[in-house]
Chain A
Amino acid sequence: AQKITQTQPGMFVQEKEAVTLDCTYDTSDPSYGLFWYKQPSSGEMIFLIYQGSYDQQNATEGRYSLNFQKARKSANLVISASQLGDSAMYFCAMSLYGNNRLAFGKGNQVVVIP
């Protein structure tokens, strides 16, 4: 079974600075996908970025980038130039090829301060 670990305590980030959110995962399956979602206080889950286990390059989507270190089984999210609207919970998740069940970590709370 997949396991996702997010252990950082809540973080305060200065506006316009970058923030890195840690995520480690555990699976014996070589074929998987890693996802990051944002959950603002309204509760909806917003997809941010995806990294496949066979992708050679780190994924990027606008201000979001994923630092994928396969050997270390880590998939850290980097948010550059933080904005006040980035204040939210951030969840790392994983699913396996052939099975789209997402396994989630417990999340990281980020508060961006002006």
Chain B
Amino acid sequence: DIQMTQSPSSVSASVGDRVTITCRASQGVTNWLAWYQQMPGKAPKLLIYAASGLQSGVPSRFSGSGSGTDFTLTISSLQPEDSATYFCQQANTFPYTFGQGTKLEI
């Protein structure tokens, strides 16, 4: 199975800050990687597909980059509503696997 490792596990930042979360795959997944946002008690929400594609309706302050084994999610100007846990997920090979999550506190 492909292992996905996120860092950091948690991060605290202020409104207006720029935050970057990284995700590393144990083997190459081309650019078949997604980022999800999960609010407490809610289902995950797709933010980024194919490493850098912005899902419809997602604010443009969210962006993704990377290919192969190393990926990043960047939030350019934090808003209070961005407080959540973020997960990466590889969609290259079954079994699909997720990172362990990054908890973002504003």
A, B bound: no
Q: Which residues of B contact A (CB under 8 A)?
A: none
Q: Which residues of A contact B (CB under 8 A)?
A: none
